[in-house]
Amino acid sequence: MQQHLANKQQWLLKASFTLCLLCIMVVLAMSSGSRHDYDDIVESGVLKIITRNSPTTYYQDKDQVSGFEYELAQMFAQFLGVKLEVTVADTLDDLISEVEAGNVAFAAAGLTVTPKRSERVRFASSYLDVKQKLVYRLGKKRPKTLKDLLGKTLVVTAHSSHAQHLHSLQQTDLPQLTWIERDDAEVSELVQMVENGEIDYTIVDSNEFDALAGFYPNVTSSMELGETQELAWAFSKFSDNSLLNKSREFFQLMRETGLLSQLEERYYGHLNQIDNVGTLTFLRQADERLHRYQELFQKEAVNHDVDWRLLAAIGYQESHWKARARSRTGVRGLMMLTRTTAKEMGVKNRLNAEQSIKGGSAYFAKLKKRFDHINEPDRTWIALAAYNVGAGHVRDAQKITEKQGGDPERWMDLKERLPLLAQKKYYKNTQFGFARGYEPVEYVQNIRRFYDLLVWREQPEPTYSANMDEGESFLTADSGFKTIPPLTEVK
């Protein structure tokens, strides 16, 4: 009997201990969550959010931080009158766990609202409707029905809404369906793998597809999977509703003022994206537009000791020689200067062609100076890459090049590594993080092509046609080209 009583006492002790522990945990969780309630945020002056490093969320672009989600969160912070602090999660699962634990106010990360996630977090009002798109490589057999997925290599991001959709397909229509989930790769990397023919298919959201498709000419989408889904910010279940309600007010205002659709258009619309045009269009526009700016380019070329045609080629690649051009990230004017660069270069009005050309040329010359230990022509190509993606990212790619046994001062070696900055495995360990590293490679290639065309256009009698091998530069030894050696592909 005594034994029995002792056991009972022990059990009671244990039970009350466990209960206390539970209470402490709940209070702790609630108190850590409550630091992100509206009043606390206003008092501390800081809004802490979490996101992912990806082309539709948050990344370093030229000399500024960019991304749809980042800009949206920045606007919300302004709306609240506080400073934004951003943490980047490695995987989607880490991201949800951080929100769940109340370590941040919310996640702004292109998250799809799914029933499974709603068990863990509380979603705010949705700001974008998306469809899941199946991506495949042009030239391969077009997948038309779900059955065409069987027996193929299908890779998606781990813990994504795409993975969740595949699970539900497997449980219902397609029990034989198999796929691979990667949490060391993000969506642009998977699209790149489809482009390279390394995998058959991946799934991306329609907004991701819009942001990426232009950079992967061999990739397309054949079908949409499932219903339309919503993207929304995810809040902790432990916080009260004060911040979430504020976000509702904010989104309503964003909608009413048209600011939300403007932001969507900038990131996902096709209209403002400057595409690569063919040679004929280039030459036609050179006839129609270049004469307006030629003298300005020539003047700056003398000031900075560079070939004016190279500056003109940059201007064409940036804006098609349109003084009022604007890109989706808000860079503006003929030389597409960011606000920061314009300020640094003393440009007051970015839409004034003379100021833009002056500022852009000075900025390019400044970048060339930063790489003055590098021999020409590599120095020029590397400075151009920096003009496009930012010197920080170029340095990151140089470090990767060196680590891999390449020569960081050779464009040929560097251009192989720049695209790696879009792969998590690499950008995870770099100083400036994710970059669309494939862009500067294409950028430099285009400028070289435009430059060659401008030089060729100046020849009184084009003599290249009779004996020019395929792939050879339009430049000849007596083309009057001084500053930079011939612009043939450096191999």
CB of 163 vs ligand GLU, minimal distance in Å:
8
Part of the chain binding ligand GLU (CB under 6 A), chosen from 32-40, 155-163, 194-202, 362-370: 155-163
Give strand pairing partners of 397. none
Residue 51 in the binding site for ligand GLU (CB under 6 A)? no
Residue 91 in the binding site for ligand GLU (CB under 6 A)? no
* Amino acid identity, position 17: F
Per-residue binding letters, 388-427, with ligand GLU (x by CB under 6 A): ----------------------------------------
Binding residue count for ligand GLU, defined by CB under 6 A = 10
Residue 69 in the binding site for ligand GLU (CB under 6 A)? no
CB of 80 vs ligand GLU, minimal distance in Å:
25
CB of 112 vs ligand GLU, minimal distance in Å:
4
CB of 204 vs ligand GLU, minimal distance in Å:
7
Give strand pairing partners of 86. 49
Closest CA to 341 of 312, 370, 361: 361
CB of 393 vs ligand GLU, minimal distance in Å:
21
Pairing outcome for strands 234-236 and 121-123: antiparallel
Between the alpha carbon of residue 244 and those of residues 38, 78, 171, 183, the distances in Å are 8, 16, 34, 29
Part of the chain binding ligand GLU (CB under 6 A), chosen from 154-162, 407-415, 429-437, 447-455: 154-162
Q: Which is nearer to ligand GLU, 112 or 247 (CB)?
A: 112
Q: Which residue in 60, 160, 356, 423 binds ligand GLU (CB under 6 A)?
A: 160
Q: What are phi and psi of 88, to 5 degrees?
A: -110, 130
**For residue 265, what are its two tokens?**
């258009």
Residues of this chain, 215-244, that bind ligand GLU according to CB under 6 A: none
CB of 457 vs ligand GLU, minimal distance in Å:
44
Closest CA to 204 of 193, 488, 262, 241: 193
**Residue-wise over 176-192: b if at least 16 C-beta within 10 A, else e?**
ebebebbbebbbbbbbb
Q: Which is nearer to ligand GLU, 157 or 221 (CB)?
A: 157
Q: Which is nearer to ligand GLU, 207 or 220 (CB)?
A: 207
Identify whether 318 is a catalytic site residue. yes
Question: Are 161 and 131 a contacting pair, CB within 8 Å?
Answer: no
59-62-68 Cα angle (round to 5): 35
Q: Which residue in 51, 53, 74, 112 binds ligand GLU (CB under 6 A)?
A: 112
| Catalytic member of 98, 195, 318, 442 | 318
Residues of this chain, 188-207, that bind ligand GLU according to CB under 6 A: 205
Residue 55 in the binding site for ligand GLU (CB under 6 A)? no
- State how far the Cα of 448 lies from the Cα of 103, in Å rounded to an integer: 48
Q: What are phi and psi of 70, to 5 degrees?
A: -65, -45
Residue 157 in the binding site for ligand GLU (CB under 6 A)? yes
Q: Which residue in 49, 99, 177, 187 binds ligand GLU (CB under 6 A)?
A: 187
307-313-360 Cα angle (round to 5): 80
Q: Which residue in 98, 200, 208, 300 binds ligand GLU (CB under 6 A)?
A: 208
Angle, in degrees to the nearest 10, between helices 391-403 and 378-389 = 120
Question: Are 379 and 367 a contacting pair, CB within 8 Å?
Answer: no
- State how far the Cα of 162 lies from the Cα of 164, in Å rounded to an integer: 5
> Which are the catalytic amino acids?
318
Rule CB under 6 A: which residues touch ligand GLU? 92, 110-112, 157, 160-161, 187, 205, 208
